[in-house]
Structure 1
Amino acid sequence: MDQYIAFVGNHPVLSILWIVIAAMLVGSWFKSQFSKIRQINPQQLTLLVNRQEGQVIDIRAQKEFSAGHIAGAIHLNAEKAKQGELSSLENFKSKPIILVCNAGITASAVAEKCLKSGFEQVYVLSGGMGTWQGAGLPTSK
C-alpha cells in the first residue's frame, strides 16, 4: 500500500488521469445499461422485422443506400434526422424501428433524436451494414 501512496505522490497527473479514465468507463457502462436504445445483431433485426413489423431505416448516404441495402429499408438523410427532421417516420412511432448506418455510430445519434421525438421502440444495428454484410446476409438494390 505504501508503494501506491508513493506512486500517487510522485506522479499526480498520471494518477488523476487514471481516475478520470476509470470514471469515464464506469459512466459509459451505466449509460449503456439504462439507455432505451438497444443495440441488436442481424438475427435480432430479422426477428423484429418478421415478427413485430419492425421497420429498417437506413441513414447512410443515398449513393451507399442505392448500392445495396437491407430489403424493405427506408432511406433517411442522416443530417436531416440529426436536426430532428423525422416527419417521414411518423407512421412508425409505435412500431419498432431499426436504424442502420455504416458502423452503428451515426445511427446511435439519430436514435437519440428519435427517442426525444416520441418513438417508442428504437434499435440500432450493432456494427451497421458492415455487420450485416459480414454475416453474409442479402442486400437489395
Structure 2
Amino acid sequence: MDFVNELLPFVKNHPILSLGWLAIFVAIIHLTIKSKFSKVTQITNGIAVNLMNKEEAVIVDIRNADNFKRGHITGSHNILPVDIKNNSIKQIEKFKTNPIIVTCDNGMSAVASGEILAKLGFEKVYALKDGIAGWNGENLPLVKSK
C-alpha cells in the first residue's frame, strides 16, 4: 500500500516522466508478445554456420547494394526489403523448403523481412542476430565484390 501512496503523488508531479515509463513498459510487453508469436527465429552466427553447412541454408542479405558489395556472407542473395514486400524474389523462389537466413546491418530489420517471407510460404525462416556487424565482429569470412 505504501507503494501506491507514493506512486500517485509522483505521477501528479512528474506526468511526462510517468508517461515515458508507461510507454516503455507497454513497448516491452508488445515486443515480448510479438516475438513469442513470430514465425521467424533469431539465431546466432554458430547456428547459422551449422544451417549453412548441414541443411543448405540460403542467406538473404537485405542491405543496400553498396553495403552488400563491401562485404557479404558467401553465396548470399541481395534482395531489398521493398522487393520482398512486393514479392519480387524470383532468385530464391525455389528454396521454399530450405532454411532461409535473413541478415541486415545489425539484426534490427531482418525479422520484419523474414515475417514477409514466412507469409509467402517459406517454411523455415531465421534472422541473423546482430546481422553482418555481429558476423564481422566474430571475424567470420565476408566476400567483397566490385
Q: Matched residue of 1:123: which SS?
A: strand
Query: Contact 1:38–1:124 at 8 Å: present in 2 too?
Result: yes
Instruction: Give the total of aligned pairs.
Output: 141
Identity of aligned residues (%): 37
Alignment-mate amino acid for residue 54 of structure 2? R
Q: Which of 22-31 and 44-53 deviates more?
A: 22-31
Q: What displacement does 1:68 show?
A: 2.0
Name the residue aligned to 2:69.
66
Q: Which of 51-60 and 11-20 deviates more?
A: 11-20
Name the residue aligned to 1:88.
91
Q: Partners in 1 of 2:59 and 2:90 — Cα distance?
A: 16
| Superposition CA RMSD, Å | 1.9
Q: Matched residue of 1:111: which SS?
A: helix
List structure 1 runs of 4+ shifted beyond 6 angstroms: none
Alignment-mate amino acid for residue 92 of structure 1? F
One of 93, 112, 115 as aligned partner of 1:112: 115
Name the residue aligned to 2:55.
52
One of 8, 13, 19 as aligned partner of 1:5: 8
Q: Matched residue of 1:29: which SS?
A: helix
1:140 partnered with 2:143: yes
Q: Give the alignment's TM-score, normalised by structure 1.
A: 0.87
Q: What displacement does 1:28 show?
A: 0.9
Which digits, 9 at most, give the CA deviation of each residue in 1:60-113, with x for residues without a partner?
222222232111212223331233322322111111000111112232221121
Closer/same/farther in 2, CA of residues 56 and 15 from structure 1, 3 Å limit:
same
Closer/same/farther in 2, CA of residues 61 and 17 from structure 1, 3 Å limit:
closer
Query: Contact 1:38–1:123 at 8 Å: present in 2 too?
Result: yes
Which digits, 9 at most, give the CA deviation of each residue in 1:8-46, with x for residues without a partner?
344455434433321221121121122111111111110
**Structure 2 residues without counterparts, runs of 5 or longer:** none
1:131 partnered with 2:134: yes
Q: Partners in 2 of 1:140 and 1:118 — Cα distance?
A: 29
Q: Partners in 2 of 1:86 and 1:95 — Cα distance?
A: 15
